[in-house]
Amino acid sequence: MTDSHHNIIIIGGGVVGLGVALEITRRFPRQRLLVLEKEDRVARHQSGHNSGVIHSGVYYKPGSLKARLCVSGAAAMVEFCREHGVPHQVCGKVIVATREEEVPRLEEIRARGVANGLSGLRIIGREELREIEPHAAGLQALIVPSTGITDYALVSEKYAELITAAGGTVLTSAEVTGIRRSSGEIVVETRRGAFETSALINCAGLFSDRICRMAGDDPGVMIVPFRGEYYDLLPERASLVRALIYPVPDPRFPFLGVHFTRRISGKVDAGPNAVLAMAREGYRHSNINLRDAASWAMFGGFWRMARRHWRMGLGEWHRSISKGAFARALQKLLPEIREQDLVPGGSGVRAQALKPDGALVDDFQFVSSGRVPPGKVLHVLNVPSPAATASLAIGRAIVESAAAGLGLC
Ligand SMILES: Cc1cc2nc3c(=O)[nH]c(=O)nc-3n(C[C@H](O)[C@H](O)[C@H](O)COP(=O)(O)OP(=O)(O)OC[C@H]3O[C@@H](n4cnc5c(N)ncnc54)[C@H](O)[C@@H]3O)c2cc1C
């Protein structure tokens, strides 16, 4: 027995699941849509524990989904925030080269940004950097004027409000525990009952590979959680940072390196680092989940990744357990910052898909299931940063490419 029948169910009440749901309610207002979220409110995980940056799209490989959906998604996000009164600011950012060998990388990043359609990108020298960020130190910097800030928990709540107003349902405290499929229908079992649906989209973030398996599909990747830890600057030292100050990222690694972010609240934080977490929702060192740890240990790709990135991983661990090391990394960008200016802030856990060959999946990945009912199940398997920025564009892209298969039109 099921509680009700829906045209489409989305698993995951994060900014991506809600972004997809919002697009469905806009395009197909007659469809019965249900979002299932295991927590008691939306955006409790990645979407509520991030840096709040509206990324410009400057870093990503031209033509990739990340590049296309970040650039169009950033514009859509600014417009959405403006239209719905969500606090935001287009404050711009600087990417600062602090070592000679980083200077050519700045030009490469600028060229990528131009190829991705960004305007206003400019490489500046030390003096002009000082005019923009008076306390930053660097040899040269790239100005990215279209970068902004917002609060993605508020964005997610607004998405949920609009979905509900349009006739959709966002059901919280409804953890999905099982999925049964037959040629005609799909039954999703949750802690709040079972729901029948004609189509299903899995946007379960840190658990998207498990939900994929629960639906009888092989994700082909494993989600590995990378914790990002922040320090807050003492309020009296927040004036050291006007907007956003980033280092030149290491091209071998998908994360951007510890940076300074002025939040929409006015607070300034530093981070996040990228430490392998011992649990999918491992927000602290003490969070250890043996089931999670065992599943990585049994996945060959995990050991291949460890062999490839162990040096970087050790550096991140060192910065995680030593505040002094964290402060020293920050001093490269802001020499005046002292260890005593930093107080422990929050943390977030990134869901990063890992391939069996040990490579971290770089681009966004959406995979349609080949099993029955045909085309009716879609798994969103890799949506790391800048997916919050891109959430509206991701919603649009998924609906445009999969609506017919999902039976929405
Ligand atoms: C530290 C950090 C900093 C970041 N900074 C930025 C940034 O500045 N800008 C940017 O654009 N992006 C940033 N990101 C990335 C961005 O936050 C994520 O890409 C985005 O939030 C992913 O959204 P999501 O909906 O896929 O995941 P989530 O927000 O994690 O949502 C998935 C949801 O699925 C639910 N779920 C899981 N299992 C089940 C189940 N069995 N049943 C029901 N529900 C389930 C979870 O409870 C969760 O709410 C950052 C991420 C982190 C971690």
HSE toward the beta carbon, residue 390, CA cutoff 13 A: 22
Closest atom, ligand 1, to C-alpha of 261: 8
Give the pLDDT of residue 3: 64
Helix axes 65-84, 391-402, angle to 10 degrees: 120
Burial of 1 (C-beta count, 10 Å sphere; 0-12/13-18/19+): exposed
What number is the average pLDDT over the span 54-73?
98
pLDDT in tens, 213-223: 999 999 999 99
The closest alpha carbon to 118, from 148, 98, 149, 89, belongs to 148
If you measure from the C-alpha of residue 353 to the centroid of ligand 1, how many angstroms do you get, rounded to a whole number?
A: 13
Ligand 1 pocket mutation pick from 23, 50, 209 by most atoms within 8 angstroms of CB = 50
Closest atom, ligand 1, to C-alpha of 272: 1
Q: Is the CB of 181 under 6 A from ligand 1?
A: no
Give the pLDDT of residue 27: 96
Q: Is the CB of 10 under 6 A from ligand 1?
A: no
What number is the average pLDDT over the span 191-220?
96
If you measure from the C-alpha of residue 15 to the centroid of ligand 1, how many angstroms do you get, rounded to a whole number?
A: 7
At 203, is the secondary structure helix, strand, or coil? coil
Ligand 1 pocket mutation pick from 47, 177, 214 by most atoms within 8 angstroms of CB = 47
Confidence of residue 174 (pLDDT cuts 50, 70, 90): very high
Angle at 403 between CA 402 and CA 407, to 5 degrees: 115
Q: Is the CB of 386 under 6 A from ligand 1?
A: yes
What number is the average pLDDT over the span 365-373?
88
**Residues 6 or more apart whose Cβ sits within 8 Å of residue 203:** 10, 11, 12, 14, 16, 17, 20, 380, 383
pLDDT in tens, 145-157: 999 999 999 999 9
What percent of the chain shows pLDDT beyond 90?
88
If you measure from the C-alpha of residue 47 to the centroid of ligand 1, how many angstroms do you get, rounded to a whole number?
A: 4
Give the pLDDT of residue 338: 97
Confidence of residue 372 (pLDDT cuts 50, 70, 90): confident
Q: Which amino acid is located at 322 in the chain?
A: S
φ/ψ bin of 182: left (φ > 0), alpha (ψ from -120 to 50), beta (otherwise)? beta
Q: Is the CB of 71 under 6 A from ligand 1?
A: no
Closest atom, ligand 1, to C-alpha of 175: 42
HSE toward the beta carbon, residue 110, CA cutoff 13 A: 19
pLDDT in tens, 87-131: 999 999 999 999 999 999 999 999 999 999 999 999 999 999 999
Distance CA(46)–CA(113), nearest Å, equals 26
Q: Is the CB of 16 under 6 A from ligand 1?
A: yes
pLDDT in tens, 318-360: 889 999 999 999 999 999 999 999 999 999 999 999 999 999 9
Q: Is the CB of 204 under 6 A from ligand 1?
A: yes
Give the pLDDT of residue 234: 98
If you measure from the C-alpha of residue 16 to the centroid of ligand 1, how many angstroms do you get, rounded to a whole number?
A: 7
Output the residue whose Cα is nearest ligand 1's atom 15. 385
If you measure from the C-alpha of residue 241 to the centroid of ligand 1, how many angstroms do you get, rounded to a whole number?
A: 27
The closest alpha carbon to 143, from 63, 58, 43, belongs to 58
Q: Is the CB of 347 under 6 A from ligand 1?
A: no
Ligand 1 pocket mutation pick from 37, 41, 46 by most atoms within 8 angstroms of CB = 46
**Lookup: tokens for 120:** 């206003």
If you measure from the C-alpha of residue 36 to the centroid of ligand 1, how many angstroms do you get, rounded to a whole number?
A: 14
pLDDT in tens, 274-319: 999 999 999 999 999 999 989 888 999 999 999 998 888 888 888 8
pLDDT at 12 over 80: yes
Task: Give the pTM.
Answer: 0.97
Give the pLDDT of residue 2: 64
Give the pLDDT of residue 256: 86
